[in-house]
Structure 1
Amino acid sequence: MDDDEAIARSLEGDLAAYEVLVARYSALAHRTAYLLGAGDEAEDVVQEAFVKAYRHLPGFRRQAPFRPWLLRIVANETHNLTRSRGRRSDLVLRLGTTADARVPDDPSDVAVAGDRRTRLLAAVRALPERERQAVVCRYFLQLTEAETAQVLDWPVGTVKSSTHRGLARLREEVGGELA
């Protein structure tokens, strides 16, 4: 069942069809919440986002893709969480689906790769919030510029400039070490 069919059936009251959407997008929604700063509370954010998405499904534009619409709700819920707790939580990255599937044979390669990843993630965490959000959406979640703009509710030009500045800072911070 594709997204359009699942949405149509969900609007008719078929909860099993909505469960298909939840199953399809749960991991991505969870990763998005973590990457945007929800930390240990990502599960709560995702649950609330799916409830809100279901409640607002009648307002969903049928011709639009579901994924960026859902991720926008996740981003809003994450923003609400971080704003309400009054501090920026640590960024916890789940790279399971984007990590290189190749397993190095040499234990020293494993250690070096882990150290590089730790330095890169620390540099991403240190970016200003807008740049971090843009870089996370574009490169960790692999969203297009248009999808990132929709998820973050920014103009495409802001996505481009924030991504550019974020990547420039990352290159300055860790570029030579990770080349």
Structure 2
Amino acid sequence: MRAGDVGAYAALVRAHTAPALRAALLFGAGADAEDVVQESLVKAYRALPTFRADAPFRPWLLRIVANETRNAVRSRRRRGMTEAAAAEPDLPADPAASAAARARRRELLTAVAALPERYRQVVTCRYLLDLDERETATVLGLPRGTVKSRLSRALRTLRSTLSETAHV
């Protein structure tokens, strides 16, 4: 790939576009998610000479996606636009179960969205993007201990918030 094999890079793009798009949506890119991913892939291609061959590609790319999403969100805020919601997942076929699952997901995403950004980012990486602690640290550019402590605080806050709404 570093030697200019476009086919090798195309294979990486195919393998990582869906997770990158999901990350962009979850980090708040909204309607700009596809543009964010496209820009991230271009930046990743240009930065390939700086990529460590012994490092995993996915966290490196998702860090670029996270940075590009932050830039897009800042730009959108400057323009006075609001964020779009993340896409709905596959839901159960039973209408009642589907409605309940949608309500639970909406409640959870609302609670995650209400977290301070530093907590929202670690929850998004660990649980919504299925990254491990090391990968989360890489994506967010944080020490692993910081990821652990923020995750602990975020989960405590979510438990409290969700238990309060369950009793209302």
TM-score strictly above 0.5: yes
User: Which residue matches 2:149?
Assistant: 161
CA distance in 1, matches of 2:155, 2:93: 27
Alignment partner for residue 53 of structure 1, among 44, 48, 51? Answer: 44
Identity %: 54
User: Which residue matches 2:15?
Assistant: 24
User: Which residue matches 2:65?
Assistant: 74
Unaligned runs of 5+ in 1: 1-9
| Deviation of 1:122 (Å) | 1.0
- Root-mean-square deviation (CA), in Å? 2.1
Unaligned runs of 5+ in 2: none
Q: 1:40 to 1:142 in 2, by over 3 A?
A: same
Equivalent pairs counted in the alignment come to 164
Partner SS, residue 85 of structure 1: helix
CA distance in 2, matches of 1:18, 1:44: 19
| Deviation of 1:46 (Å) | 0.5
Aligned counterparts, 1:35-54, within 5 A:
35-54=26-45
Aligned counterparts, 1:1-179, within 5 A:
10-86=1-77, 89-90=82-83, 92-94=85-87, 96=89, 103=92, 105=94, 107-175=95-163, 177=166
| Deviation of 1:104 (Å) | 5.2
Q: TM-score, normalised by structure 1?
A: 0.83
User: Which residue matches 1:5?
Assistant: none
CA distance in 2, matches of 1:151, 1:15: 25
Q: TM-score, normalised by structure 2?
A: 0.88
Partner SS, residue 28 of structure 1: helix
CA distance in 2, matches of 1:94, 1:115: 14
| C-alpha distance after superposition, 1:32-81 (max 9, x if no partner) | 01111111101111111100110110111101111111111111111122
CA distance in 1, matches of 2:76, 2:99: 35
